[in-house]
């Protein structure tokens, strides 16, 4: 038996892939199928799932009341569409901001002295040692009406004799955006750093030698060669931002509801797993579609990574 295994390479491969395959089937494929089935089900009055086939949950998501006569336009309520749109635009804005902030820092770290590089990377990772939720709460302390920022501004205003009214920063879209950017910044810095670090110094020299000034060198050589890192970082940031509910829950309160919060509330507060499942699937499909078009445009950067 062992002898046979030693000779047969393909069964070796199967054996190696077996644990992961089992894991993925049990904890990803099956639950996903279950979610799909439930999303077509109905909720019983006491919150149980009735397995049947109805599109009611999806119709509700699209903003229509299934109990309303179709000709009557007054039943249309775009609440859920707004939530989806808000999630999408927030994820987009977060990703763009994170790229703009992460790229210069990653560039600085990649071009710094190798001995200092590890220190810088260590500093980037330090926040991750604290729990995600705690870090979001920390932002609450900063942004609150009686928070650190308002207090400091008040103090400053007191000095110059300006009548200061505390800013309403918490429970706004801006607060959620700031929290998201802060939480996901390291996940953009690291892949961009990795791809920048791989660029051989002689390529910068070759570009300069061929007459490219620093700006053109950046545009023609540095940026395209580091794009795989930006793509990887975007995937690492955009997808979780689309789905997360903690940041918006804590920093957005009832004001900023995202798909993540919607799903969470359907499963917990509203006890409607069928609607929650439908929202989950729509979220997943939206994320996949965006990622698909994005990677089709920019690739996964595998071509360059392979070099």
Partner 1 sequence: MPAEFAVELRDVVKQFVTPEGANLAAVDHVTMQIRNGEFFSMLGSSGCGKTTSLRMIAGFEWPDEGEVIIEGKPMGHTPPYQRNVNMVFQNYALFQHMTVFENVAFGLEMQRAGRKEIITRVGRSLDMVQLKGLDRRRPRQLSGGQQQRVALARALVNLPAVLLLDEPLGALDLKLRKEMQLELKALQQQLGITFIYVTHDQEEALTMSDRIAVMSLGKVRQMGTPQEIYERPSSRFVAEFIGESNFIDGRMVQISKEAAQVHVPALNMELSATPISGDLVAGEDVIVSIRPEKVQITNSINEMPNHMEGTVEKTVYIGSDTHLIIHTGSQNLKVWEQNRVSRIDPHAFYSSGQKIQLVILPENALIMKRE
Q: Which residues would be at the binding site for partner 1 (CB under 8 A)? A: 200, 202-203, 205-213, 216, 220-221, 224-225, 303-304, 306-307
Please list the residues that pair with 50 across neighbouring strands. 42
Distance of closest approach, residue 211 Cβ to partner 1, in angstroms: 4
Distance CA 166, CA 149 (A): 9
CB 247 within 8 A of CB 164: no
Closest CA to 298 of 236, 221, 218, 224: 224
Please list the residues that pair with 49 across neighbouring strands. 43
Distance CA 17, CA 75 (A): 51
Distance CA 81, CA 61 (A): 7
Helix (H, G, I), strand (E, B) or coil at 50: strand
CB 112 within 8 A of CB 199: no
- In terms of CB distance, is 163 or 303 closer to partner 1? 303
Percent helix, strand and coil across the chain, each to the nearest 5: 75, 0, 25
Distance of closest approach, residue 229 Cβ to partner 1, in angstroms: 13
Distance of closest approach, residue 111 Cβ to partner 1, in angstroms: 15
* Residue 42 φ/ψ, nearest 5 degrees: -125, 150
- In terms of CB distance, is 46 or 200 closer to partner 1? 200
Please list the residues that pair with 240 across neighbouring strands. none
Please list the residues that pair with 43 across neighbouring strands. 49
Distance of closest approach, residue 129 Cβ to partner 1, in angstroms: 32
- In terms of CB distance, is 163 or 209 closer to partner 1? 209
Distance of closest approach, residue 305 Cβ to partner 1, in angstroms: 10
Distance of closest approach, residue 199 Cβ to partner 1, in angstroms: 10
């Amino acid at each position: 038996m062992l002898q046979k295994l030693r000779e047969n390479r393909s069964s070796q491969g199967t054996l190696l892939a077996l644990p992961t395959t089992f894991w993925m089937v049990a904890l990803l494929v099956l639950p996903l199928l279950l979610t799909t089935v439930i999303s077509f089900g109905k909720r019983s009055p006491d919150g149980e799932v009735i397995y049947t086939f109805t599109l009611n949950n999806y119709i509700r998501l699209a903003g229509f009341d299934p109990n309303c006569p179709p000709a009557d336009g007054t039943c249309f309520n775009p609440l859920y569409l707004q939530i989806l749109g808000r999630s999408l635009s927030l994820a987009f804005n977060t990703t763009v901001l994170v790229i703009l902030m992460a790229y210069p820092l990653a560039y600085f770290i990649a071009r710094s002295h190798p001995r200092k590089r590890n220190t810088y990377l260590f500093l980037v990772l330090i926040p991750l040692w604290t729990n995600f939720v705690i870090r979001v709460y920390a932002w609450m302390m900063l942004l609150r009406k009686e928070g650190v920022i308002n207090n400091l501004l008040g103090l400053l205003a007191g000095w110059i004799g300006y009548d200061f009214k505390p800013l309403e920063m918490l429970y706004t879209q801006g607060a959620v955006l700031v929290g998201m950017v802060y939480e996901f910044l390291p996940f953009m810095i690291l892949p961009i750093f990795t791809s920048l670090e791989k660029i051989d110094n002689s390529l910068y020299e070759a570009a300069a030698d061929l007459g490219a000034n620093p700006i053109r060198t950046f545009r023609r050589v540095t940026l395209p060669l580091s794009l795989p890192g930006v793509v990887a970082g975007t995937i690492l940031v955009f997808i979780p931002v689309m789905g997360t509910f903690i940041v918006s829950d804590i920093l957005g309160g009832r004001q900023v509801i995202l798909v993540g919060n919607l799903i969470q509330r359907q499963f917990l507060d509203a006890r409607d797993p069928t609607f929650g499942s439908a929202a989950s699937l729509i979220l997943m499909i939206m994320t996949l579609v965006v990622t698909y078009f994005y990677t089709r445009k920019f690739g996964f950067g595998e071509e360059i990574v392979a070099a």
